[in-house]
Amino acid sequence: MHTRVRRSPITSVSVVVLSAGFYSVLQLFKTPKRSTRRMTTYALVGDVGGTNARLALCEVENGSISQAKTFATSDYDSLEAVIRHYLDEQKQDIKDGCIAIACPITDDWVEMTNHDWAFSTKKLKENIGFEHLEIINDFTAVSMAIPMLGAEHVIQFGGKEPIKDKPVAIYGAGTGLGVSHLVHVDKRWVSLPGEGGHVDFAANSEEEDQILEVLREELGHVSAERVLSGAGLVNLYRAIVKVDHRVPENLKPKEVSERALADSCTDCRRALSLFCVIMGRFGGNLALNLGTFGGVYIAGGIVPRFLEFFKSSGFRAAFEDKGRFRDYVATIPVYMITHDQPGLLGAGAHLRQTLGRII
C-alpha cells in the first residue's frame, strides 16, 4: 500500500534549496514585487519678461522646480516657439502649464508690455497640445510663491512673526513697480493682482513736496512708480539737483546707486536714501490696506543691488511712520525674497492649486 504524498507548489518561500545552482534556477520563478513608486508627473512653468523667458518643469505633487532654462525673447518669433523648443529638449509628456508674464492679464488675448509678442491663450493651448494652460501676471506668480518659501529664502526687516493665513502684501521696484496681495480663503490662497504701482505718489515731507513739484512739471501725473523703480531712482536724483537750481547729469540707475554706495556723489546718496524711505512708506501703506499680518514681501528688483545700504537706511522707520497707527504696523514683518526663481515657483504653486493640490 502506497502512501500518497501531497506535493506543495514550488514557491520562493517554501522551497528547500539543495544546492546553490538549483537555488539560482528557482529565482526565475519568483513573482516580481510590484513597485509602489508613483510615476512622476511634471507640468510646464514659465516666467516671461521683455528680455528673457524662463521655463522649467514643476513636479505636480510637491512643487519642486527643475530643468530651468533661460531664453532670450529676441531669438524667437513667439512664446509658442520658445515653449516648443523647450519641450522638445525635455522629452517629457507635458499636458499642463502655467506661464507668468509681465503685463496685465484681463482676458484670452495677451499683449506683452515690453515686447512685441501677442497671442490667444486658448489658441496657444491648442497648438501645443495641452489639456490645461494658464497665463497669469508676473506678480500674481510671485505672490503665489510666498507659501512655498522657507526661512532660507527671505531676509527679515523688523516686525515680529507672521500670523498664519493672514493677508500678505508683495511689491517690488524694478523696471516698474509691481504690487499684489495674497489672501487665504477656504483652504486656498487667492492672489489679488492689480496696478498698485500707478497710485499717486504721496509726498510726506517738505523735501518730497519740492521733488513732487519738479516731477509734476516734467511728467504731469506722478505715480509711485515714477519714484520707486530704476527710472524712479534717476527721477529722484534729477529732482534733488533741480530743487537746488543746478543741472543734473544724464545718469542711469546703476550709476546713481554705484555713486551713492561709493559715497562719491552727495546727490546720488541722497536720492538712494530717499528711495529707501519712500519704499518703506509705500510698504506701510500696503500693510494698512489689508491688515497684512501675514507679512509684507519685497520681490527682487533693484533693492538687492544695495542690500547693505538698505538694511541701515530709514526704510523700517518709514514703514512704521503711520501716526496713530504706528503700533498697528509695528508688529508686521517685512521680508526681502532671496529665492532665485520666485516667478517659476509661484507659477507652479498657482497651477498645482488649480489642479486640486493644497499648497
Do 359 and 351 touch, CB atoms closer than 8 A?
A: no
Do 189 and 166 touch, CB atoms closer than 8 A?
A: no
The response to whether 197 counts as a known ligand-binding position is: no
* 124's grid cell: 496657444
Identify which of 87, 93, 97, 89 has the alpha carbon closest to the alpha carbon of residue 125: 97
Cα–Cα distance measured from residue 215 to residue 209, given in angstroms and rounded to the nearest whole number: 10
The response to whether 301 counts as a known ligand-binding position is: no
Do 44 and 347 touch, CB atoms closer than 8 A?
A: no
Q: Is 270 left (phi over 0), alpha (psi -120 to 50) or beta?
A: alpha
Helix (H), strand (E) counts: the chain: 12, 13
- For every residue of 26-43, DSSP letters joined together read HGGGPPPPPP-PPPP-EE
C-alpha dist (Å) from residue 324 to 304, 316, 327, 329: 32, 17, 8, 10
The response to whether 51 counts as a known ligand-binding position is: yes
Do 147 and 165 touch, CB atoms closer than 8 A?
A: no
Please enumerate, as own/partner, the contacts of 64-73 that have beta carbons within 8 Å and a separation of 24 or more. 65/341, 65/344, 65/345, 65/348, 68/341, 68/344, 73/48, 73/49, 73/115, 73/117
Q: What is the CA angle 285-49-195, rounded to 5?
A: 30
The response to whether 48 counts as a known ligand-binding position is: yes
Cα–Cα distance measured from residue 105 to residue 48, given in angstroms and rounded to the nearest whole number: 13
The response to whether 50 counts as a known ligand-binding position is: yes
The response to whether 199 counts as a known ligand-binding position is: no
E-strand stretches of the chain = 42-48, 52-59, 65-72, 96-101, 109-111, 118-120, 132-137, 154-156, 168-173, 177-185, 188-193, 296-299, 334-337
| Known binding residues for ATP | 46-51
| Known binding residues | 46-51
